[in-house]
Amino acid sequence: MDGASTLPPATVNGVLFYTEINNPSNPNDDKNLRCSASTVNSPAKNLAFTAGSCVHEGKFGDWHTNVVFAPGYREGSQPYGTWVAKELWTKSAWTASSDQGENVGAVVFFPNASGLHLANVVGANGIAFNYPADQDTYTFGYPSNYAKGERWV
């Protein structure tokens, strides 16, 4: 989208950067990758949702490392800085099977370098469960086939 990355809803969406460990005995085989993630309101104000594959490789894989989140990311700009991951979460069904229907992940973050919590700085999406399936939804992300993944849509 062409809107500013410092205005909602761009502020609650960002890029999750991480390292995928491909061969534990050879760090040269590691890959630095990225995914879309979005902040979610939580009591601790430090949560984002993403795909399970963005936190864990799935069946026969391991947890990713060096995970950081850059909300409002756009073409290399990180207007809010980065938050470092404290905990990575995904469904055990994802880690056991790599079933795309189970590909859901969450990341809990430390406060940033200034001691601020993620949602207190950029805001957060609301979340609700057990509603009828016919609700309106909006999807945001950084698809690789749009602006080389450098802009959110």
Beta-strand ranges (E) seen in the chain are 13-20, 31-40, 47-50, 65-71, 83-90, 105-109
Give the domain 10-123 fold. Thrombin, subunit H (2.40.10)
* Contact in structure between 122 and 36 (CB atoms under 8 Å): no
The yes-or-no verdict on residue 29 having pLDDT over 50 is yes
Instruction: Judge whether residue 27 has pLDDT over 80.
Output: no
Residue 88 has pLDDT above 90, yes or no: yes
Q: In this predicted structure, what is the pLDDT of residue 1?
A: 47
Domain borders along the chain are 10-123
Report the pLDDT averaged over residues 48-56.
Answer: 96
Among 3-7, 61-65, 126-130, where is mean pLDDT lowest? Answer: 3-7
